[in-house]
């Protein structure tokens, strides 16, 4: 069995080979960081199972005299991942960075490293300390509610985050522990004045009332207050409907996207945009697509276990099918794994699929390169607005073909993965062209009534 640290560096070489780094400079940087850390471990004469905080502090102290702060943080990230690898291989007992993060409930590993670099690490670590999840007087009620709803088949992840934030507030204000839940919620609502916070407080109040009613049916259910949600709705941004010229500009930019180290990325982004605009797919659905979900012979895409646990098979038009054929051929020539369970959109960093966060970052960058979105901030068109544009353009095509869109709304709701047409109606943004088509349809429908009315008057 191998032990670490090893003088010949075979374990570091095996770890770097697992990462499959393609850039030679990256391999040099990784090896330099890991070698320097291993040298400190060897000098301190620690056994392979005894890597602890003291070793980290010595390495950070010595490295800070050699590397810039940004470089040191990057190397610390490399060492942190290497320590996770050593834990997986049973070469060390635990990762001290992960241990400190769990002890202080810190938000990130980088925050732990910054604290260890501070003049007083203990004080800096203490400043990072977060409250443990669900440690308030209402923790049992919240946990039971989450377990109950998840047992009923709901994901209940968003609601769990609401409970977690309310729980942290209660732990920070122990003087409220003897107060009724209504008083606790009043203090929490007063903590922030934003409309979103008020709406979240109302949702938590309703969820807690339902949890209490489930435990004690004699308690009266809480009457919902729609005003906070209405206030949030007034602040919603109006969806941006992309014109065909703007979509063409986005596709051209994606085709020419600069990516010298990842040659497959431009055509990947191009295909993502095509599927988002032509099929109305969500970013999460793009990220979860597998190679086996594409059937070019039948011309369909299978979307599995997405929002509301719904799966659906989408027939595709010729243009997205053509884009998929071109992408799959480029994917094959790039010698990407052809396993049916592999991610459809693959990148060479770590031999993994694109995450929804990575897809969003790349597509937002394309919006900015096209001049449709400012260089910073959350203002301007969104990627999700392509889904709105898909709905509006589909309804326009039905109008032009003489089809009543109202008869087709259930089919459109199924195609989009909605539970009913009420969710689809949110996507129907009234544009000038859509209003003109609707007016023309009504004129054709009611013109004989107008003529009959004029005849009666004469």
Measured distance CA(201)–CA(228) in Å, rounded: 9
Among 206, 222, 304, 307, the active-site one is 307
Structure tokens at 383: 């990627």
Nearest to 74 by CA among 60, 58, 85: 60
Length of the chain: 458
The DSSP string of 45-84 is T--TT---HHHHHHHHHHHHTTS-HHHHHHHHHHHHHHHH
The answer, yes or no, to whether the previous bond of 28 is cis (omega within 30 of 0) is no
Measured distance CA(17)–CA(27) in Å, rounded: 9
Q: Where are the alpha helices (DSSP H) in 106-242?
A: 109-117, 121-128, 139-151, 157-172, 181-191, 195-215, 227-234
CB-based contacts of 122, cutoff 8 Å, min separation 6 = none
Measured distance CA(76)–CA(109) in Å, rounded: 9
| 3-class secondary structure per residue, 369-416 | HCCCCCCCCCCCCCCCHHHHHHHHHHHHHHHHCCCCHHHHHHHHHHHH
- Per the annotation, the verdict on 307 as an active-site residue is yes
Paired strand residues for 295? 300
Paired strand residues for 314? 301
Structure tokens at 291: 């190679």
Measured distance CA(288)–CA(309) in Å, rounded: 13
Among 101, 265, 282, 288, the active-site one is 282
Paired strand residues for 313? 302
Q: Which residues are part of the catalytic machinery?
A: 282, 307
């Amino acid at each position: 069995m191998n032990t670490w640290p090893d003088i010949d560096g075979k374990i570091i070489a095996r770890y770097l080979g697992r990462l499959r780094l393609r850039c030679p400079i990256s391999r040099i940087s990784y090896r330099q960081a890991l070698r320097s850390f291993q040298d400190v471990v060897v000098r301190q004469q620690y056994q392979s199972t005894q890597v602890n905080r003291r070793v980290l502090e010595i390495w950070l102290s010595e490295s800070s005299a050699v590397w810039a702060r940004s470089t040191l943080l990057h190397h610390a990230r490399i060492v942190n991942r290497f320590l996770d690898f050593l834990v997986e291989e049973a070469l060390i007992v635990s990762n001290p960075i992960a241990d400190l993060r769990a002890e202080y409930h810190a938000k990130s590993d980088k925050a732990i490293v910054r604290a260890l670099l501070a003049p007083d690490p203990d004080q800096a670590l203490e400043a990072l300390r977060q409250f443990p999840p669900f440690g308030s007087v209402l923790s049992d009620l919240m946990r039971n509610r989450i377990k109950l709803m998840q047992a009923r088949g709901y994901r209940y992840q968003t609601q769990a985050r609401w409970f977690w934030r309310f729980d942290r507030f209660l732990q920070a204000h122990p003087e409220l522990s003897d107060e009724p839940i209504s008083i606790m919620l009043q203090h929490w609502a007063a903590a922030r004045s934003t409309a979103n916070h008020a709406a979240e407080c109302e949702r938590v109040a309703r969820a807690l009332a339902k949890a209490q009613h489930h435990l004690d049916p004699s308690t009266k259910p809480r009457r919902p207050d729609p005003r906070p949600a209405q206030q949030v709705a007034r602040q919603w941004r109006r969806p941006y409907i992309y014109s065909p010229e703007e979509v063409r500009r986005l596709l051209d930019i994606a085709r020419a996207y600069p990516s010298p180290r990842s040659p497959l990325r431009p055509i990947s982004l191009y295909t993502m945009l095509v599927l988002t605009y032509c099929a109305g797919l969500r970013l999460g659905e793009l990220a979860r697509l597998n190679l086996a979900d594409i059937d070019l012979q039948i011309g369909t895409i299978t979307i599995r276990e997405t929002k509301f646990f719904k799966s659906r098979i989408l027939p595709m038009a010729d243009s997205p099918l053509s884009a998929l054929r071109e992408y799959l051929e480029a994917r094959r020539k790039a010698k990407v794994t052809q396993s049916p369970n592999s991610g459809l959109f693959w990148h060479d960093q770590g031999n993994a699929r694109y995450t929804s966060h990575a897809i969003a970052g790349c597509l937002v960058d394309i919006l900015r390169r096209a001049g449709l979105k400012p260089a910073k901030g959350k203002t301007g068109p969104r990627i999700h607005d392509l889904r709105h544009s898909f709905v509006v353009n589909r309804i326009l095509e039905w109008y032009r073909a003489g089809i009543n869109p109202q008869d087709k709304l259930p089919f459109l709701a199924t195609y989009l993965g909605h539970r009913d047409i009420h969710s689809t109606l949110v996507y129907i943004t009234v544009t000038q062209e859509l209003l003109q088509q609707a007016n023309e349809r009504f004129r054709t429908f009611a013109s004989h009534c107008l003529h009959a009315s004029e005849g009666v008057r004469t």
